[in-house]
């Protein structure tokens, strides 16, 4: 029964931290930074669509932009700014530790990291959809401009805006709404993984080790995407046989292991030193 009572306490800690953090200039700047990078990417996508002179589906911008290696990788900077202060030690932290215990507080902080990953991913997704409403169409079907981009038939127009989309298989096996959902899932899983990694490294080692680990993983992933074909976008995994679920499953496995590490470490670390 006591374990059941821990869950509402962890949730209260999560939303209490959320209320405190959302008023922070650092968090506000993180969201603004992410939306700025999104706006720059959308400017290229809608410029391309206007040159093709055909409407695009309002959900396609998010799918195509997440597939852009450089644009998608810059989005993570805003999220890292939002959670850069992990493990979020505040003046009332010691009172919370006394009332709830270390493990419940740890659960609350992990849930906060996941909540911010979801909220940040949601802002990027909703922002891209909202931007497409004035010049887009709604539906389950793919548009001609994106199809031309996927089959490399748009030529000089795509090169003008430095756009590419290797989504021919995705367009064959998924509707736009399905592709939008799986793209959002990939983005959320990646942000959640980096956020939990940052939190756990800061809890266990303290200092700058969290950001060092996240930078190494993120930059290492960028290198592997070019050298070993390891990608973070679902367009490379959709084949009609369910392969697109391997990446989210792998990310969830890594997150689960790191959560176990945090549960084991939280009883031993000096939180005041973090």
pLDDT tens digit sequence for 124-181: 999 999 988 887 788 888 988 888 888 876 667 777 777 878 888 888 888 999 999 9
The residue to which tokens 């190494």 are assigned: 216
For 198-236, write each residue's pLDDT tens digit.
Answer: 988 888 877 677 788 888 887 776 666 655 556 677 777
How does residue 115 score in pLDDT terms, banded at 50, 70 and 90? very high
The residue to which tokens 């292991």 are assigned: 257
Beta bridge partner(s), residue 57: 137
Give the structural domain span for 82: 2-273
Q: What pLDDT does residue 1 have?
A: 47
Q: Report the C-alpha gap between 156 and 161 in whole angstroms.
A: 9
List the end-to-end C-alpha distance of the chain, in Å, as a whole number: 32
pTM, full prediction: 0.88
**Residues 260 and 198 sit within 8 Å (Cβ to Cβ):** no
- Which DSSP string corresponds to 118-177? HHHHHHHHHHHHHHHTTTEE-SSSPPHHHHHHHTT-STHHHHHTT-----HHHHHH--HH
Closest CA to 71 of 45, 47, 50, 52: 45
Closest CA to 266 of 203, 213, 201, 198: 203
Considering its fold, how many domains does the chain have in total?
A: 1
């Amino acid at each position: 029964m006591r374990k059941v009572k821990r869950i509402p306490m962890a949730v209260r800690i999560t939303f209490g931290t959320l209320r405190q953090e959302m008023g922070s200039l650092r968090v506000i700047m993180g969201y603004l930074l992410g939306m700025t990078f999104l706006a720059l990417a959308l400017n290229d996508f809608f410029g391309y669509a206007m040159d093709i002179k055909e409407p695009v589906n309002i959900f396609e911008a998010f799918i195509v932009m997440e597939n852009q290696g450089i644009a998608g990788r810059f989005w993570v900077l805003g999220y890292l700014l939002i959670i850069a202060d992990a493990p979020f030690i505040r003046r009332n932290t010691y009172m919370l530790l006394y009332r709830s215990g270390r493990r419940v507080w740890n659960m609350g902080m992990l849930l906060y990291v996941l909540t911010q990953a979801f909220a940040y991913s949601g802002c990027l997704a909703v922002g891209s959809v909202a931007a497409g409403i004035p010049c887009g169409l709604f539906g389950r079907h793919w548009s001609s401009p994106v199809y031309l981009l996927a089959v490399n038939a748009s030529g000089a127009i795509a090169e003008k805006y430095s756009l590419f989309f290797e989504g021919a298989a995705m367009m064959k096996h998924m509707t736009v709404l399905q592709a939008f959902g799986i793209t959002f899932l990939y983005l959320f899983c990646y942000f959640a993984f980096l956020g939990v990694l940052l939190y756990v490294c800061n809890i266990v080692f303290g200092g700058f080790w969290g950001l060092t680990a996240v930078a190494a993983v993120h930059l290492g992933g960028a290198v592997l995407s070019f050298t070993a074909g390891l990608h973070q976008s679902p367009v490379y995994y959709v084949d009609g046989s369910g392969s697109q679920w391997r990446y989210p499953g792998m990310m969830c496995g890594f997150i689960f292991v790191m959560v176990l590490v945090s549960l084991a470490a939280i009883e031993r670390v000096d939180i005041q030193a973090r």
